[in-house]
Structure 1
Amino acid sequence: MKKKFSIIFLLSLLLLIFLGSYSLLSVSPSQNYPNNITLSSPENIVIYVNSTIYSDILDSINQYKSDIEADGYNVSVYNWSDLAPDRIIRANNLKSNLTLEYNLNNIIGAVLIGQLPYAEYENLSDPYDHIPYCGYNFACDLFLMDLDGNWTDHNGDNFYDDHQPTSTGDLYPEIFIGRIDPYSINHPNQTQALIDYFNRNHLYRTGSLPRYNNSVMYIDNPWESTSEEWKGDMEYLYDDITLINSSYEITDAQNYIDALQQNYEFIWSFIHSNHTHHGFDWTPSSGTFVNYSQIANLNTKALFYNLYCCYAAKFDAMDNLATHYLFSSNYTLAVFGCARSGGFVMNRYLYNPLSNGKTLGESFKLWWSNDQYHSHGHGPDDMNQKGNCLLGDPLLKIREPSENSGPSGQPNFLHLLIALCIIFGIITVVVIISFKMSS
């Protein structure tokens, strides 16, 4: 009788171990609101705040600092001021401080609030880029992220034009950067714009901001043929995806405005653009357009954007589209985009880390370094990517919409393999026990 009871107890224990192991393996890392997760070991973050607005938004900064400390980060705040007359010197001064923080405190990233320095890069090899605000020179936040590469201004015009590895460093970013700055949109009250931003940031972190757990991909005609390929990338992050292209409906300015006002959590746009306008079916003589003032007055619902829209994130240009998306809404928290022609390609290397619980900033940093860099010409020395940037809080995470971490809701293969091994182990134990009982 005791022997039979022991066998039953052992089998029950093995069953409980299996169920517990499988639940741990199969639950998504971002099922709950993702910014309530405490890190296993503290990581260091630096916040830089422009000194001219520091005191006006101090309460918001303190709340934000408290929020990210609750996530397990160690946070330092700089009241940053730099009166150097030369733009490139100011950018290098900020980079020197970032490098010091990285070397001494091993920071993983930084948040830049208000007008903070930036470097500009120019493409001397592309004659078509010699157009103001169209890519000849462009803001390049990779300069602040890559702390050990060699950046050179060969012709002394205060625009970097060469980026090379060194004997001890490479081209890849060591840290991530996120900018939160309404200056370029001529907001009537920039202090209030920042206060409002951090209010909704806090609401998101505490689960009080409306979320729709879905996405829309708005693809204008030039990219229609690759719609399914791009959609495969988005499936790493969302199951509920609405695809809008001319195969389904007419893509034009009014149709896009209608889409912006729907309840989508993430909007991924593929539209010909300059820094102030989106152009649909844009040719020299025709097209329909959405401009920055329309974006400013829509109060769009999306929390996150990825703008595959040339120049839309040229954050140093007045009334750029990306900054309007970020601040002209009661909901938006972050915008991925490009400060020159180009944008994010091979987005599975951005969306897959996000789906596995990485922050926006960590995913941005990982995207630069994916394993397809050399074979597909993607990476930090690809001129069409060099202007890519993140506007908004880089420490936010996006909740994964399903319990699985593979694309299209497919179970993760490794999880299934481990579960099968556990099942096989239990069966083996049961067979051995049965054999001993029969003998």
Structure 2
Amino acid sequence: MKYNKTKSIGFALIFFGLIMPLSMNLILNFPHNDNSNYKEKNEHIIDEVTLLKPSYISDSYPTNETLAIIVNMTIWSGVQATVNQYANDLEAAGYDTIIYHMNITNIKTLRNLLKSYYEYNNTVGAVLIGNFPYIWYSDPWPNYYEVFECDLFLMDLDGDWWDTNGDGIYDKHNASSGSDVYPEIYIGRIDASKRNLGSQTNIQNINNLLAQIHSYRIGTSTRTHKALVYIDDDWQGEANGSLDNWPAWLNNAYPNHDDIHTPKSYTNKTDWLTRLNGSNYEFAHLAVHTASAPGGHRFGPNESGSEGNLSANDIHNNGPGFTFYNLYCCRGADYNTTDCMANTYLFSGSYAQSVLGTTKAGGMQNGAFFYDSLAKNNTFGQAFIDWLKSYPSLSDVYSQSWFYGMCILGDPFATIHYDCSVPKPSISSSTHTENVWSQNNINILFNWTHQSDINGIDGSYYILDQNPNTIPTATTGTYTKINGTSFTNLADGIWYLHVVAKDTLGNIGKRGDHFTLKIDTTGPVITLLSPTINYYSPSSSVFISWDAVDEFNSYFLSNVYDCSTCQNIYGFGPNKNVTASSLSAGPHNINITCSDNVLTGNFETLEIMIYVDLINPTVNITNPLVNQTVENTFTIAWQALDGESGIDHTEIYSGTTLIKTIDGTINSSTISGLTAGTHTINVTTYDKSGRSASQTISINVKPGENNIPGFPLGILIIGSSLISIAYIISKKQK
């Protein structure tokens, strides 16, 4: 690839002229945030809409979800313990968590932090613990004026938000090509800084709520899985089926629900407080007129309060309350006001986990999408997103006016069928120590135990493989209701048993326990270096060397043993060579045995044969005789004997020139091609140990006939004459 100088300069100009200043702007722009005045509070964040937005990963539900816990720096030391427990509970439920407790002073910094978590950490939701910034948004309904806190700003991370007149209040929300106005993540707020009821500080209120959340997750703080649908006078038509059927929204999430709406007089202050104080409901869907400053419900038609005006203080003094709330209550979740109703329900009861409400006039419509998502055991936050996405035109005037104030106060990660993780099992073995090499591959026993689970444990999925990070699933794992399993005849190597639990609701744990099993039943692989595996030695001393390599563990000891004489040549030791000396003549069956360092040792043996031959062979030339005259082609014969290792081969020389090698025990051969005259013929015989014997004789070789090889001279003369006669006759005829 050629170096493009122009492109490099262009990139540098873009980086230093545009990207770096924008990055520095994000890092350094931390102006003061004052929540007491919405106009002043938002003046410093309007320039955010001019920022270039990077592209983000698509809005999908990741399988490995991360949750962000963002804590106000000023309260971190006071809530650290309960926040860490909160994170541990979420991790036990199969999530990854991020805890952030550095200084965040403006909404832009907070939104950019959430963007980075969404893009780089697969984050699907966040909880803000303590007092955090927010934006003001203006209701776009014609001829209607209301500004309100809008947490969708922190949830829709790729949409565009505008302050068109520069007054510090956002008034327009849309999206450019490739983006949308729907949320990528969900958020919830846990903050009691605006709470005056009771004697506890903000930190104490937060710690108590987080302890309450922990109790719910471990199953020690539960209500009957039943809902209360409580619809006041002005929405009787939406409740009784004449205009809508709000109670039916809950059918999948809460098949068992009490519906209080008809006659209208049944819904009133006294009855509501009685149910709040003495009824065993898990979920309350409440529709009643509500004020935010001061907070309170107005029972009766047209906000008249004719059936009772209920204050935040009334709720505070009438626990224990319910676990979850959906408040169709105008401004019931206006968290910027003192003792808003949502926070009062959240921090006053003994069971409360999450409250869905709105910071403005409006509330949830088409709520079946929300409750159906809860029925699938999705989190409160995910159900909130699923409901928002059910609107095809979320950013139109109607939706903005009705829904843009919707928010979650409390735990956005809660589920209505919460189980404590489908907790991770704990694996043990009575036959094997984890991560320690074992020689036992025949009888391998495993057992596991489960922590208590809010829904009860139904069984387990397990997999045995050689991947340390496998998580069994319903399709890949083996299911059992027995808390244990066994294996036999496993191959050598490192194995991992993975186990996850399944609860009685069918939830399968996302985190499993992993037991490392190491099996080694074979000794080192032995390689003979010297001598050969079947060796004939001409000496009584033989140098033996070998190498030994173990696949999984270390070479430890060797032993060399002469099976023929039942004697050790080398007792057990670390060396890998030895000289076998004073060997008697004859065969020696030698075993080289090596062991590894596993427990009592795994042994492997290599058998070699050494034949010691201490006597030379004999040889006697029987033909021709000494000084005999022979033809140019003649037969030489000899007799070779060896009483030890046996004859290996014989070499025949003329003088010092090797003219033939004869293998094995053959004792004759034809010799030809020697020149006429006297020749010294040597026959040397070797046995298999390399020992030899020789005999030398002199012979006279006759001259050979003047023949072309294979044709006698007479025949050549007659043939030549006939050819000449034929040639002369042919010339005369021409």
Alpha-carbon separation, structure 1, partners of 2:83 and 2:164: 39
Match of 1:320 among 340, 360, 364: 340
| Partner in structure 1 of residue 561 of structure 2 | none
SS across alignment from 1:81: coil
| Partner in structure 2 of residue 137 of structure 1 | 147
Contact 1:215 1:266 in 2 (8 A): yes
- Cα 1:169/1:40, change in 2 over 3 Å: closer
SS across alignment from 2:101: strand
Tell me how far 1:356 sits from its aligned partner: 0.8
Match of 2:157 among 147, 150, 164: 147
Match of 2:330 among 302, 307, 310: 310
Letter in 2 for 1:157: D
| Partner in structure 2 of residue 15 of structure 1 | none
Letter in 2 for 1:77: I
| Partner in structure 1 of residue 415 of structure 2 | 397
Alpha-carbon separation, structure 1, partners of 2:65 and 2:398: 25
| Partner in structure 2 of residue 110 of structure 1 | 126
Q: C-alpha offsets along residues 105-131 of structure 1, whole Å, 9 cap, x if unaligned?
A: 2211111101011111012544443xx
Match of 1:211 among 209, 220, 223: 223
Q: TM-score, normalised by structure 1?
A: 0.75
Match of 1:195 among 195, 207, 221: 207
Q: TM-score, normalised by structure 2?
A: 0.46
Tell me how far 1:285 sits from its aligned partner: 6.1
Contact 1:314 1:338 in 2 (8 A): yes
| Partner in structure 2 of residue 66 of structure 1 | 88
Match of 1:279 among 277, 298, 305: 298
| Partner in structure 2 of residue 133 of structure 1 | none
- Cα 1:381/1:240, change in 2 over 3 Å: closer
| Partner in structure 2 of residue 382 of structure 1 | 400
- Cα 1:231/1:58, change in 2 over 3 Å: same
By percentage of residues, which structure has more helix? 1
RMSD over equivalenced CA pairs, Å? 2.1
Alpha-carbon separation, structure 2, partners of 1:149 and 1:381: 16
1:245 aligns with 2:236: no
| Partner in structure 2 of residue 338 of structure 1 | 358
Contact 1:119 1:143 in 2 (8 A): yes
Q: C-alpha offsets along residues 68-90 of structure 1, whole Å, 9 cap, x if unaligned?
A: 0111111111113234xxxxxx1
Tell me how far 1:168 sits from its aligned partner: 2.3
By percentage of residues, which structure has more strand? 2
SS across alignment from 2:75: coil
Match of 1:349 among 369, 375, 397: 369
Alpha-carbon separation, structure 1, partners of 2:159 and 2:63: 28
Aligned counterparts, 1:254-273, within 5 A: 254-261=270-277, 262-273=279-290
Tell me how far 1:378 sits from its aligned partner: 8.3
Letter in 1 for 2:299: F
Tell me how far 1:67 sits from its aligned partner: 0.4
SS across alignment from 2:235: helix
Contact 1:163 1:381 in 2 (8 A): no
Contact 2:68 2:99 in 1 (8 A): yes
Contact 1:148 1:168 in 2 (8 A): no
Alpha-carbon separation, structure 1, partners of 2:227 and 2:289: 20
- Cα 1:180/1:286, change in 2 over 3 Å: closer
- Using CA pairs under 8 Å that are at least 6 residues apart, name the structure with larger relative contact order, 1 or 2: 1
Contact 1:373 1:379 in 2 (8 A): no
Match of 1:361 among 367, 381, 396: 381
- Cα 1:196/1:382, change in 2 over 3 Å: same
Letter in 2 for 1:92: K
Q: Radius of gyration: which is bigger?
A: 2
Alpha-carbon separation, structure 1, partners of 2:192 and 2:340: 10
Q: Where do 4+ consecutive residues of structure 1 move more than 4 Å? A: 282-286, 376-381
- Cα 1:286/1:205, change in 2 over 3 Å: closer
Alpha-carbon separation, structure 1, partners of 2:408 and 2:248: 22
Alpha-carbon separation, structure 1, partners of 2:86 and 2:104: 24
Percent of paired sites with the same residue: 34
1:186 aligns with 2:196: yes
Contact 1:368 1:379 in 2 (8 A): no
What runs of 5+ residues in structure 1 fail to find an aligned partner? Answer: 1-38, 84-89, 130-135, 401-439
- Cα 1:191/1:166, change in 2 over 3 Å: same
